[in-house]
Structures are given as C-alpha cells and as structure tokens.
Amino acid sequence: MDHGMSDCKALLAQTCPIRARILEVISTLPWDGLNVRHQVPGLSLYRLVEPAGPFSSVYEPSLSLIIKGRKFVEVGDEAMVYDESAFFLTAVGMPMKGQIRTATVDEPYVAATLRLNLDTMRRLIVDHNLQPADITNRDRGVAVGVATPELFDAFLRLISLTNSPDDLPFMAAHIQAEIFYRLLTGDQGARLRRFVLSGTNSNRVAKAVAWVKDNYTAQLRIDDLADLAGMGISTLHHQFRAMTGMSPLQFQKHLRLHHARELMLAGSIDVATAALTVGYESPTQFSREYRRMFGHPPLRDMKGIMSTDIAIRAGSVA
C-alpha cells in the first residue's frame, strides 16, 4: 500500500464507524458458515469464524473490500497482504491463492466482493471524459488501493438495500455505478481505465488473457495468441507476464489445475478423468504438476480438503 503507517491509522479511524455499521447490517442476514445471503446482484458477502486456506480460485474481474480482518494473496510469484485500509482490485480473471490466517467467533473475518461491470465502466469513462494515463511498463492485472470512507459508505448503502427490497432494482445500479466511478477516479483509476478501454496495450493483453481463460483446455499456440492481441510474440510474453505474473503457458497450466481441483472437489470425477477433462494427455504429468502447485498429490489433497471446515473448501473468499 502506498500510504504510510500514520496515514493507515488515520484512515482506519475514519472508516471505523462505517465499517461497524456494515457489520451490524450483515449480522442481521442469513449466514451458512461462509456466505452471507442477500439479494443484491453482483455482490458477495463472506464471514469466517476460523482460519481458512490456503485456497485456490480463478478470480473474476472484481473489487474486494475487507470489512474486518486481513487476507494474504499470491498472484504468480507475487505475494500481497491487505486489510480494512485497502481494497483488492482484480482487473482480469486470474488464478490466485488466498489465506485467512486469523478469524474467531469474537473477531470474525468479514469481506465483500463486487463484480465489475465493464459496460457500465466504459460508459462512465466516456460520459465523464476519464482518459487513461500514459502506458506503464508494468501493468499487473491486480492491485491494492486505498479504501476510502466514501468507498465504504457506498458499500454500506449497497448492502443496506437488502432491507429495502422495493428500492433495490433502481438503487443498486446507481450505487454500483458510484463505486465504479470512485475506482476509476481513485489511486488505481489510471490502471483500471487502461484495462477497460479498448485499443490500449493493457486491453489487448487482457483480450489474450481472456482467450486463454475461456479456452484453457485447448492447445495453446503462442503465435495465434499474439495475432489475437495484435502484437509480436516477444512483446506479448513481456506484457502477459507483467499483467499476470506468469507466461501464457504457465497461466494456462494454473487454470487447468485450478479447474481440475474444482471438478474433483465436486466429487463427480476421478483423477484421470479430471486430467483429461482440463486438457492433459498424461495423468502422470497432471499428478506431478498438481503436486508442485498444491503441495500434495491429487488424492491426498482431496482427502485433506474434504476433512476440513466449509470455509477452507471455499473456492473464493474476498
């Protein structure tokens, strides 16, 4: 995070009353041990009362805000930590690892995730003339930014709509647009605008990332991917790694292994079938790469996960 220790403490003090009010509203909603149920579209709420993870998931473009607690995240070879003073922004769908190391009944971990609506964000950029800044050499597809009182206040009003169902259809869209506007004009706004707008390097690489994500079982031809992005192969490699922390082939491997894990957790297929389903020709190679990523062979990993609490089995926690 860019702000110093004193700024962080001041920010936490400013947002403390708003976060307390959010916790109060969330405490009145149904909870299944992990997810807090509500009717606000695009919004997910989580509450954990014990440590969880490490867990792996493919994150969709979204904004995550911690109401109470701290989360550790690994994206490629980069480790990040964020808490109530920061938000976590995912501009493109990417595989990540996360961990909640501290959570109790008295001091639960509570967080919210809002799915990004790129069409709405493009309209905001055009309507308010929010142009992207100069392209940087390193445009990672995730970022940690400052969680301002205004951002928490908007989330409070959005979450509170669950108690005003008649207002929800109209107000939810307007409050979400306000949140997107604050993101686009905030400390990570220039980066986000580059991803949202077409014609920029970030957007072209994001198109390549999206293709791999949607076609992770297919054979990956780097020259075809470079043509899709409209750039040379070496440039694609450089920009792709800058955005995801991985090469295209590493990114595809992460996606395959994450999705295979999800399929096996669902309990419907065995290891060999999962390997073939996600694009591996050799179950042996699959098991070897699975162990490198998750620390255990598939069967042992499944037994360990299924013996844990629902929070640890969760695919994605904000």
Domain ranges of the chain: 5-196, 201-246, 250-313
Question: Percentage of residues in the chain with pLDDT exceeding 70?
Answer: 90
| Superfamily of domain 250-313 in the CATH hierarchy | Homeodomain-like (1.10.10.60)
3-class SS of residue 101: coil
How confident is residue 308, by pLDDT bands cut at 50, 70 and 90?
A: low
Q: How many whole angstroms from its chain centre is CA 203?
A: 18
User: Considering the chain, what is the average pLDDT of its residues?
Assistant: 87
The whole-model pTM stands at: 0.75
Strand partners, 113: 44, 64
Residue 231's CB is within 10 A of a number of other CB atoms, namely 19
CA angle 222, 115, 214 (to 5 degrees): 25
What superfamily does domain 5-196 belong to in CATH?
Regulatory protein AraC (2.60.120.280)
**40 pLDDT exceeds 50?**
yes
What pLDDT is recorded for position 201?
Answer: 66
Distance of alpha carbon 145 from the chain centroid: 14
The answer on pLDDT for 5 being more than 80 is no
Q: How confident is the model at residue 294 (pLDDT cuts 50, 70, 90)?
A: confident
Residue among 50, 55, 66, 60 nearest 108 (CA): 50
Share of the chain above pLDDT 90, in %: 55
Residue 133: both structure tokens together? 């800044």
Highest mean pLDDT among 74-78, 129-133, 255-259: 255-259
- Indicate whether 191 pLDDT > 70: yes
Q: Which of 67, 52, 146 is nearest to 113 (CA)?
A: 67
- The answer to whether residue 257 scores a pLDDT higher than 90 is yes
SS3 60: coil
pLDDT, one tens digit per residue, over 170-183 is 999 999 999 999 99
